[in-house]
Structure 1
Amino acid sequence: MGQLDKELLQELLDVSEKELTPKQTKIVQAAIEIFSEKGFAAASTSEIAKRAGVAEGTIFRHYKTKKDLLISIVLPVISKFAVPFLAEQFLNEIFEGEEFEEMDQFLRKVIYNRYEFVRKNTALLKILLQEMFYHSEIQDTFKEIYMEKIAPKYRNLMEQFLTKDQLESIPMETIFRLTISTVLGFLLTRFIIVPDYDWDDEREIEYTIQFIKNGIKGLS
């Protein structure tokens, strides 16, 4: 099972409005990992305590119930800090200081960038996927960041490719949807659905790039 990258966890906790004790930090990390492995319903506070190296009573001194732990600590870390932080990090790594002459070049950088992130933080991604459907605050955060920050940059870049006749003149929203769904489909299959399959990652990434590029160009 992929675990939450410790450096990323610390960065997320550092920007939290609520200062956590070392024991609380261990509890949060353990909760994220176990929630991602088993889901919230199947996870137990005894498992979280064992993973964190604390007594189960320590959890209940800070959080009255398992749900209180999820709502009070884990979801705020994810919805208020993790998603915005990761979006800013993604934007800086992809768009800052770089010009893309070809669509292949852009897609390759995006896919390898998100591949490395998901590889290191599969646990965080699982929590987001499991809980975002049930918690409006996570959904709203995603919508705000992707619609206001990521989508405009992506749209501008796609318009540049349009002027170079690399893309057909179809709605930008359609290009965005097709690209994102294909990349996410690859990453989810690779790291969550069938992670133990004998993947040839470089080959799969190149297939994904060509599928997106040639598929969009073929649209009329």
Structure 2
Amino acid sequence: MNGPDNLIEEIFEHSDELTEKQKKIILAAIQAFAEKGYASTSTSEIAKNAGVAEGTIFRHYKTKKDLLYSIIEPMLEKFIAPFVLKDMEKVLNQKHATFEDFLRAMIENRIKFLSKNMLLLKIFIQEIPFQPELKNLFKEHIGTKVIARFTQVVEYYQAKGEILVAPPFNIIRFIASTIFGYLIFRNLLLPELDWDDKAEIEQTIQMIMHGISTQK
């Protein structure tokens, strides 16, 4: 796995609990889940790609679902959540002159992060609709914390008169669906297109601002 697994490698470097065989199993599972989906991936296939016996998987994980959760939960709880929040804080804590400047920094930040971690993003997108437990984990470890921080940003620019007065959550939902819609098309659905990220970012920002700006 090249490029997208940077975060995974960083996680392994900071984990003393995983054996080398477990790391191989996890890497093989992430690759398979991302490429084929959880339902279409067999433990025998994971074992083969990891270079271990299938029984080795079941010595560490009772079921395939346990393996999936053992990948997602620790990454969300111990690593991804802190990394994502810390990464977001770099943008959220800066006092950008305008809300438009904030959006530009936010989108550029997310593009850089997701480009390095596409396998994990793909697993989340594929499995969260079918795995209620994963949805709850995501909400617990990332969703609520990010929304709470983002609400402060929205209220700050509302007080400056740059954003219309509306429930912050509604504004966050509108912005998030627009930005992540672009990122999903950019990285998952149509990555083969010749994307002009700079132009796409500016167009996305203008569409958002046209919908929420108080300036006519």
Q: Same fold (TM over 0.5)?
A: yes
> CA, structure 1 residues 70+159, in 2 after alignment: closer, same or farther (shift >3 Å)?
closer
Identity among equivalent positions (%) equals 42
Aligned residue type for 2:174:
L
Equivalent residue number for residue 77 of structure 1:
74
C-alpha separation in 2, matches of 1:165 and 1:37: 46
Partner of 1:157: 153
Q: What residue number does 2:206 align with? A: 210
The aligned counterpart of 1:175 is 171
Aligned residues: 216
Spell out the pairing of 1:1-220 with structure 2 (5 A cutoff): 4-6=4-6, 8-13=7-12, 19-71=17-69, 73-96=70-93, 98-145=94-141, 148-217=144-213
Q: Name the stretch that deviates more: 44-53 or 159-168.
A: 44-53
Higher mean alpha-carbon deviation, 142-151 vs 130-139, is at 142-151
Which residue identity does 2:5 align to in structure 1?
A: D
The change in CA–CA distance for 1:169 and 1:68 in structure 2 (over 3 A counts) is closer
- Give, in angstroms, the shift of residue 208 of structure 1: 0.6
**SS class of match (1:133):** helix
**Do the aligned partners of 2:85 and 2:142 also contact (CA within 8 Å) in 1?**
no
> Which residue identity lines up with residue 95 of structure 1 in the other structure?
L
- Looking at structure 1, the residues matched to 4 and 28 of structure 2 have their Cα atoms a distance apart, in angstroms, of 9
Cα 1:81–1:191, aligned 2, differ >3 Å: closer, same or farther?
A: same
Q: Give the TM-score of the pair, scaled to structure 2.
A: 0.85
Q: Distance between the aligned counterparts of 1:120 and 1:132, measured in 2? A: 20
Kept after mapping to 2: 8 A contact 1:104/1:213? yes
Q: Structure 1: give runs of 5+ residues left out of the alignment.
A: none
| Residue pair 1:79, 1:137 contacting (<8 A) in 2 also | no
2:96, 2:47 → 1: CA distance? 48
Amino acid at match of 2:203: Y
5+ residue gaps, structure 2: none
Kindly state the Cα deviation for residue 13 of structure 1 after the two structures are TM-superposed.
Answer: 4.4
Q: What per-residue deviation string (whole Å, max 9, x for no partner) do you get for residues 122-148 of structure 1?
A: 110111122222333332233334564
Deviation, 1:107, is 0.5
